Chain A
Amino acid sequence: MTVKFTKDHEWIAVSGTTGRVGITIYAQGQLGDLVYVEVPAIGKALTKGGEAAVVESVKAASEVYAPVSGKVTAANDALADAPETVNADAEGEGWLYEMEIADPAELGDLMDRAAYDAYVETLH
């Protein structure tokens, strides 16, 4: 399984042609305490860079974008009653949705862990 990252602080863990998507630990830290998470409906078609989910902190709502194009195959419905899971474990239990990846070539545009970590360093 490989994990890739976007500049908008999403991660996608890829196995075969499916990917599990969430926001990064850095992103949850920037957002602060989350109080609401809206995950996409199963079957929803996603376009790379398009809106896929919404995470809301006490202060503000933020869109979560699709790292690649594809179709939603599963959603983490447990977040409806426990949005704080994203704060506690953003890159684990706090995943948002799973998708069937339409074009694996799009993954090539994303960063690996080392490149993402270096990118985050530039934001401080």
Chain B
Amino acid sequence: MGHDDDLKYTPLYDLHLELGGKMVPFAGYAMPVQYPSGILAEHKATRDGAGLFDVSHMGQAYLEGPDVAGLIETLVPGDIKGLKPGQIRYSLLMADDGGILDDLMITRPVDDADGTRLFLVVNAACKDQDFAHIAARLAGRAVLTRLDERALLALQGPKAAALMAGLGPAANDLTFMTAAPVDVAGIPCLVSRSGYTGEDGYEISVPTDRAVELARALLAAGAAPIGLGARDSLRLEAGLCLYGHDIDPSTDPIEASLAWVLPKRRREEANFPGAARVLAALRDGVTRKRVGIKPLGRAPAREGTVIARSGGDAVGIVTSGGFGPTVEGPIAMGYVPPELAKPGTKIDLLVRGKPLPAEVVALPFTPHRYAKA
């Protein structure tokens, strides 16, 4: 792929080419979908060792203002006021009608003693509208500063910690969903113990002008470069939502099986956007529910595949579907009526016009292996 003026490039673009990355347009950026070893090998390298991902296309920002946690709680349904310095929360940017505008990570910086600063990471495809939305809604009370001069790398896998021990040992004082400034390979970074694979690992925010140096140090220490293809199969096995596919402005958090992002206090306060719909869904139930789906044969069921009652009528749709290299078979997620959402329920997937038997299963498909406290 040659340079295309309509595309944006991360600081690692030339390194991706050097590594043989097959570049594709994704969320407006030229990104590697895979490297020469291929998606299956990259997936397994992450599950068995340590994989390095370029996620610099994602949006990073600081949000600053007095009682900033209270301010952002007017936009998300999570417990942000309860974050201690250094803690990270997964949450949802809510539309006023209860749909989901984006999912995001919210970190209270470890040096934020007075509750005036948060670090946000949002999806690449949503970042412009997310940041505009947050800035507009909190205008005059908080200031949003985009960190476009920072790249973001993810190091994921069971050997990530051993690898990090040599380059930035202080990162291993972090437990899952905490963050701190750490020098990695001599480069000042903001390291979060988090990720999108279900494995232990880190997301490393690094100044753009030192991103290549950091990536080369991680690769030299044994991390394998991983493209978007394996990133997708890893997150699907981990049962994690992909925004724009499994969740979007039409889905509410309860339908999306993300009720766990709403703590008791926020339910009682009922003061986040869309609270009326979301609390009604909690109280009265929903008409569809996101579930894990295991096709019983070998054929994958892709996004958009119609879900039917076993031997019956169409009732839902697959929102993510493909092949799970660790599961060694096809896997999917999708929406079904609540009476079909119980694990073990038999359903049909209409693949190329043929009903193929499948079963609703509990998520994740592969157990999470986080570094819990």
Taking Cβ atoms with an 8 Å cutoff, the residues of A that contact B are 32-33, 35-36, 38, 54, 56-61, 80
Contact = CB atoms under 8 A, between A and B. Distances in A.
A36 B298 contact: yes
A59 B39 contact: yes
A59 B229 contact: yes
Please report whether the interface of chain B is mostly helix, strand, loop or mixed according to DSSP: mixed
Interface stretch (B110-118, B131-139, B274-282, B322-330): B322-330
B372 interface: no
A15 B227 CA distance: 43
Contact of A58 (B299, B322, B352): B322
B323 to A, nearest CB: 4
A51 to B, nearest CB: 9
Contacts of A57: 39
Given A56-B300, A56-B323, A59-B322, 10 more contacts: A33-B38, A33-B39, A33-B40, A35-B323, A58-B39, A58-B229, A59-B232, A61-B300, A61-B302, A80-B298
Given A33-B38, A36-B330, A58 B325 contact: yes
Contact of B323 (A38, A54, A58, A80): A58
A36 B323 contact: yes
Contacts of A54: 352
Contacts of A56: 299-300, 323
A59 B325 contact: no
Interface residues of B, number: 20
Nearest to A33: B40
A32 B38 contact: yes
B33 A59 contact: yes
Interface in B29-46: 33-34, 38-41, 43
B192 interface: no
10 contacts: A33-B38, A33-B39, A35-B40, A35-B323, A36-B298, A38-B299, A38-B352, A54-B352, A59-B33, A59-B229
A2 to B, nearest CB: 32
Given A32-B229, A35-B323, A60 B302 contact: yes
